[in-house]
C-alpha cells in the first residue's frame, strides 16, 4: 500500500489498463448503472427543477453554515444526543476511541461512512486494539481483501463475483469456487448477524442532518446501519459538517434525488431517522471539519461541499470507468474526489485534476449541480501556480507559448514540424512519443491552410 500511495493516476491507471477485458467489464458495469440512473431520472418530468432546488438549498446551507450547525447542535443536545466537534481526522478518531474506552468496548460494528474512510478510522482503531467490522456488504468485502473502497456507493465494484467467492472461501468458509451472488450474500448475512448481536457499539455515517430538529438520516439499502445501531448500547454517528439541511421538508427533495442519481432506484431501501437515544442507549454525533472550512474559504471550490455522495459523477465519468477507483489513490475517487482531494494535500493529489478530459458529463449528472469539470480546470491553474507541475511539462508549455505567441515563429515551426513528420517520421513515431504508443500520427499535408489561402484567395 505504501508503494501504491506514491504512484500517480496515470501510472496506476496504466497498470489497470494492462488487462483490457477487465477494463471493458468495469466500464460496462458502471455504464449500466449510469443507464439505470438515466431511466430513473427521465421518469421524473420535474427532474431538472429538483436538481436546481437541491442546489439552491445547499447554496443556502453553505452561506449560513455556522448558524445551521449551532441550531442542529442545540436541538440534538435537547434530544439527548451527545455532540462532539472534531477539527480534523486525528481528533475525530480520538473521540471515537475515547467513547469506546469509556464504555469498555473493544469491538465495534460500522455501517458505510466515507468520512471514516477519509479519516482512516479503521487503521487507527486497529492500532489501538479495537476490532472493527464493516457491515455494508461491499465494504465488508473490501475489508476482507484489505483494500480501500474503489467507489463511494459501490465499494467493491472493481471485484468480480468469482473473486468475492474466493475471499469468502478463505474468510467465511463457503465452499471453494462459489460465485452465486445469492449464496455469497447469504454467507455474509449469517456472518454479519452474529456481529450485530454481539457488538456493543455501532458507528454509522450521516447522509442528512436536519438543523430544524436535531435529527439525522442514514440511507442504506441493506438495513445494516439500523441493525447495528438498534442492537448496540452506544451509537456513534460521524458526519462531515456540510451534511446539514435546514428543514425536514427538504428531505423530500434530497431523498428523491440521492438514489435515483446513485443507482437508479427511486429511494434507498432504508432511510432511517435517528432523533434521540432509546432508554439506556448512548447516542453520539461527531461533527467533523477536516479541511472543510478551508475549502469553504476557496471561492472557486466551495461548491464542492454541496456533494451528497451519490457517486453519479463516477458512474458517468469515462475516465473513472476506465481507470478504476483505486487509481485515484484517495478515499473519494472519481471527479468529485479529484476536486476535494487537492484541498487536503495539494502536492499529493496534484495529478487528480488532470485525470479528466473536461468532458463535463459529471456536472450534468450531479444532483446538486456542482460545476465539477469547471472546478477541475480551476484546480489545474492553482496547482501550476503553486508550483506542483513537473518541470518537463513547464518547459514544454513555455516553448508552446513562445511558438504560439508570434505568427512568424508559429508559421516557421508549423512548416518545420510538417516537414519533419513527412521526411523523418521516425523522429516522432517512436516509443518516446506517448501518442504513438496506441495511435498513428496525422499525415503531414503539403501546405497549411494559411499557405493555401494565400495562394488561392485574392487578398482584400
Partner 1 sequence: MKVGLFIPCYVDQFYPNAGIATYQLLVKLGVDVTYPSGQTCCGQPMANSGFEHLTKDCNQLFVDNFAEFDYIVSPSGSCVLHIKDHLHTDKDEQKALVVRTKVYELVEFLVDILKVENLQSSFPHKVGLHQSCHGQRGLFLTQMTELVAPYFSKPQQLLSQVKGLELIELSRTDECCGFGGTFCVVEEAVSSKMGKDRVKDHLDHGAEYITGADMSCLMHMEGILKRENSKVKVLHIAEILNAE
Contacts of partner 1 in 23-82 (CB under 8 A): 23, 27, 31, 38, 41-42, 44-45, 47-48
CB of 45 to partner 1, least distance (A): 7
Give pairs for 334-337: CB < 8 Å, separation 24+: 334/151, 334/152, 334/362, 335/362, 335/372, 335/373, 335/376, 336/152, 336/304, 336/307, 336/309, 336/362, 336/370, 336/372
Q: Does 20 bind partner 1 (CB under 8 A)?
A: yes
* Phi, psi for residue 231 in degrees, rounded to 5: -95, -15
- Element of type H or E holding 282: strand 282-288
CB of 380 to partner 1, least distance (A): 3
Tell me the CA end-to-end span of the chain in Å, nearest whole number.
Answer: 66
CB of 332 to partner 1, least distance (A): 19
Q: What angle do CA 401, 404, 406 make, to 5 degrees?
A: 115
Question: Total residues at the site for partner 1 (CB under 8 A)?
Answer: 77
C-beta of 3 vs 443, nearer to partner 1? 443
CB of 442 to partner 1, least distance (A): 5
Query: Judged by CB under 8 A, which of 123, 131, 186, 447 binds partner 1?
Result: 447
Q: What proportions of the chain, in percent to the nearest 5, are helix, strand and coil?
A: 55, 10, 35
Residues 419-438 that bind partner 1 (CB under 8 A): 434-435, 437-438
Q: Does 439 bind partner 1 (CB under 8 A)?
A: yes
C-beta of 127 vs 412, nearer to partner 1? 412
Three cell numbers at 284? 453520539
Q: Does 418 bind partner 1 (CB under 8 A)?
A: yes
Residues 290-349 that bind partner 1 (CB under 8 A): 316, 318-319, 322-323
Residues 6+ apart with CB under 8 A from 327: 9, 12, 13, 16, 333, 355
Residues 339-368 that bind partner 1 (CB under 8 A): 353-361, 363-365
CB of 227 to partner 1, least distance (A): 35
C-beta of 238 vs 363, nearer to partner 1? 363
Q: What is the CA radius of gyration of the chain?
A: 25
CB of 232 to partner 1, least distance (A): 40
CB of 35 to partner 1, least distance (A): 9
Three cell numbers at 253? 427533495
Q: Does 442 bind partner 1 (CB under 8 A)?
A: yes
C-beta of 197 vs 409, nearer to partner 1? 409
CB of 39 to partner 1, least distance (A): 11
Q: Does 448 bind partner 1 (CB under 8 A)?
A: yes
Q: Does 175 bind partner 1 (CB under 8 A)?
A: no
Three cell numbers at 149? 473502497
C-beta of 223 vs 318, nearer to partner 1? 318
C-beta of 171 vs 411, nearer to partner 1? 411
Selection from 318, 312, 400 nearest residue 363 by Cα: 312
Q: In this chain, which stretch among 10-18, 61-69, 127-135, 185-193 interacts with partner 1, using CB under 8 A?
A: 10-18
C-beta of 94 vs 415, nearer to partner 1? 415
Q: How many CB atoms lie within 10 A of CB 12?
A: 19
**Cα separation of 86 and 101, whole Å?**
18
Residues 6+ apart with CB under 8 A from 107: 130, 131, 132, 133, 198, 199, 200, 201
What's the sign of the alpha-carbon dihedral 271, 275, 279, 284?
positive
Q: Please give the torsion angle defined by the CA atoms of residues 287, 109, 126 and 129, in that order, rounded to the nearest 10 degrees.
A: 110
**Cα separation of 112 and 433, whole Å?**
44
Query: Judged by CB under 8 A, which of 66, 279, 385, 455 binds partner 1?
Result: 385
Max CA-CA distance within the chain? Answer: 92
CB of 351 to partner 1, least distance (A): 9
**Cα separation of 333 and 352, whole Å?**
9
Residue 393: strand pairing partners: none
Three cell numbers at 40? 430513473
Residues 220-239 that bind partner 1 (CB under 8 A): none
Query: Judged by CB under 8 A, which of 25, 32, 377, 419 binds partner 1?
Result: 377
C-beta of 78 vs 441, nearer to partner 1? 441
Residue span 391-410 as binding mask against partner 1, x where in contact by CB under 8 A, dash where not: --x---xx-xx-xxxxx--x
Category of 324 on φ-ψ map: left (φ > 0), alpha (ψ -120 to 50) or beta? left
CB of 435 to partner 1, least distance (A): 6
Q: Does 96 bind partner 1 (CB under 8 A)?
A: no
Q: Does 440 bind partner 1 (CB under 8 A)?
A: yes
Q: In this chain, which stretch among 54-62, 103-111, 227-235, 375-383 interacts with partner 1, using CB under 8 A?
A: 375-383
Amino acid at each position: 500500500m505504501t508503494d501504491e500511495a506514491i504512484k500517480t493516476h496515470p501510472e496506476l491507471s496504466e497498470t489497470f489498463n494492462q488487462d483490457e477485458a477487465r477494463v471493458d467489464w468495469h466500464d460496462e458495469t458502471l455504464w449500466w448503472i449510469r443507464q439505470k440512473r438515466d431511466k430513473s431520472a427521465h421518469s421524473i418530468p420535474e427532474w431538472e427543477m429538483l436538481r436546481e432546488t437541491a442546489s439552491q438549498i445547499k447554496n443556502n446551507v453553505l452561506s449560513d453554515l455556522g448558524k445551521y450547525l449551532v441550531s442542529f447542535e442545540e436541538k440534538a443536545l435537547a434530544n439527548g444526543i451527545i455532540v462532539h466537534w472534531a477539527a480534523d481526522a486525528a481528533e475525530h478518531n480520538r473521540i471515537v476511541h475515547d467513547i469506546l474506552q469509556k464504555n469498555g468496548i473493544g469491538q465495534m460494528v460500522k455501517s458505510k461512512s466515507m468520512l471514516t474512510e477519509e479519516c482512516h478510522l479503521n487503521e487507527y482503531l486497529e492500532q489501538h486494539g479495537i476490532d472493527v467490522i464493516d457491515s455494508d456488504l461491499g465494504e465488508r468485502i473490501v475489508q476482507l481483501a484489505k483494500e480501500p473502497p474503489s467507489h463511494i456507493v459501490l465499494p467493491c465494484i472493481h471485484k468480480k463475483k468469482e473473486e468475492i467467492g474466493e475471499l469468502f472461501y478463505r474468510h467465511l468458509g463457503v465452499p471453494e469456487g462459489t460465485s452465486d451472488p445469492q449464496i455469497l450474500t447469504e454467507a455474509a448475512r449469517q456472518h454479519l448477524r452474529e456481529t450485530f448481536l454481539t457488538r456493543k457499539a455501532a458507528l454509522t455515517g450521516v447522509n442528512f442532518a436536519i438543523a430544524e430538529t436535531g435529527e439525522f438520516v442514514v440511507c442504506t439499502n441493506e438495513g445494516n446501519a439500523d441493525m447495528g445501531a438498534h442492537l448496540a448500547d452506544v451509537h456513534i454517528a460521524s458526519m462531515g459538517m456540510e451534511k446539514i439541511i435546514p428543514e425536514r421538508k427538504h428531505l423530500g427533495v434530497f431523498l428523491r434525488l440521492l438514489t435515483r442519481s446513485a443507482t437508479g432506484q427511486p429511494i434507498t431501501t432504508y432511510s432511517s431517522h435517528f432523533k434521540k437515544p432509546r432508554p439506556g442507549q448512548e447516542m453520539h454525533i461527531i461533527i467533523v471539519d477536516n479541511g472543510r472550512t478551508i475549502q469553504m474559504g476557496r471561492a472557486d471550490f466551495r461548491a464542492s461541499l454541496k456533494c451528497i455522495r451519490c457517486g453519479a459523477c463516477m458512474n458517468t465519468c469515462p475516465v473513472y470507468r476506465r481507470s478504476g477507483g483505486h487509481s485515484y489513490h484517495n478515499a473519494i475517487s472519481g471527479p468529485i474526489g479529484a476536486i476535494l482531494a487537492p484541498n487536503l494535500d495539494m502536492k499529493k493529489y496534484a495529478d487528480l485534476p488532470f485525470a479528466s478530459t473536461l468532458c463535463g458529463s459529471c456536472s450534468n449528472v450531479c444532483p446538486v449541480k456542482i460545476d465539477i469539470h469547471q472546478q477541475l480546470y480551476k484546480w489545474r491553474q492553482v496547482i501550476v501556480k503553486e508550483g506542483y507541475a513537473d518541470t518537463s511539462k513547464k518547459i514544454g508549455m513555455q516553448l508552446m507559448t513562445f511558438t504560439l505567441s508570434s505568427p512568424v515563429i508559429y508559421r516557421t515551426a508549423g512548416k518545420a514540424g510538417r516537414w519533419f513528420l513527412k521526411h523523418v517520421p521516425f523522429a516522432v513515431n517512436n516509443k518516446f512519443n506517448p501518442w504513438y504508443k496506441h495511435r498513428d500520427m496525422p499525415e503531414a499535408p503539403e501546405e497549411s491552410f494559411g499557405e493555401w489561402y494565400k495562394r488561392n484567395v485574392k487578398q482584400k
